[in-house]
Amino acid sequence: MLTKERILEKALDLFSENGYFGTNMRSLAVGLGISKSALYKHYKGKEDIWNSMICYIENYYEDNFGIGPAEFKMPENANELREMSAKQIEFTLNDEKILKIRKLLTLGQYSDKKIAELATKHFNFVIEKLYSSIFSHLIEIGEMKCNDCDMLAFIYCSPITEMIHLCDRQSDRKSEAIIKITSYIEWFINQFFEVK
Res. 196: pLDDT tops 70: no
User: Is-contact 107 19, C-beta < 8 A?
Assistant: yes
Judge contact between 2 and 24, C-beta under 8 A. no
Each residue's pLDDT tens digit, 146-166: 889 999 999 999 999 999 999
- 179-184 — which CB contacts under 8 Å span 24+ positions? 181/89, 182/86, 184/159, 184/160
Vertex 41: Cα angle to 38 and 43 (nearest 5): 110
Share of residues in the chain with pLDDT > 90 (%): 70
Res 139 pLDDT > 90 = yes
Mean pLDDT of 11-24: 92
Calculate mean pLDDT across residues 21-34: 93
pLDDT digits over 68-103, tens only? 666 688 999 999 999 999 999 999 999 999 999 999
Note the pLDDT of residue 70.
Answer: 66
Question: Strand, coil or helix: what is 144?
Answer: strand
d(CA 9, CA 56): 9
Q: Is 19 helix (H, G, I), strand (E, B) or coil?
A: coil
Which pLDDT score, from 0 to 100, does residue 62 have?
A: 83
Under 8 Å between Cβ of 86 and 65: no
DSSP H helical ranges for the chain = 4-18, 25-32, 36-40, 46-65, 78-94, 96-108, 113-120, 126-140, 149-169, 174-192
pTM metric for this prediction: 0.87
